[in-house]
Amino acid sequence: MQKFLKVDPRLLCVLIVVLLATMGIGVTRLAAQAATATLQGIITDASGAAVPDVKIAVKNTGTGAAQEGASNSQGRYTLPNLSVGVYDVEASKTGF
């Protein structure tokens, strides 16, 4: 004679949902890891005023890969999709 464990169907449903949710969180965390980075900031002068049209140049010291951008009218700049690594960063503007 075989004995079977009796489980409340509601409890079984809750356990399945928790298991599936946990698996989903693990997958989400793995997918969120990226091999690129974004450098962003705001260029201001000594008085704290935004400085537009500043050329921003970055160079990966390990690979030599370079990327350029510029600050907008609010002094903000963004350089996306940079390979993870160590960078030299230069900001320049004619007459400044």
pLDDT range class, residue 95, cuts 50, 70, 90: confident
* 14-31 residue pLDDT tens: 677 776 666 665 555 555
In degrees, rounded to 5, the angle at the alpha carbon of residue 73 between the alpha carbons of residues 71 and 75 is 45
CATH number of 36-92: 2.60.40.10
Long-range contacts of 41-45, Cβ-Cβ distance < 8 Å, separation of 24 or more: 41/76, 41/77, 42/71, 42/74, 42/75, 42/76, 42/77, 43/71, 43/75, 43/76, 43/77, 43/91, 44/75
Residue 16 confidence (pLDDT): 73
Domain residue spans of the chain: 36-92
DSSP reduced 3-state for 93: coil
pTM: 0.62
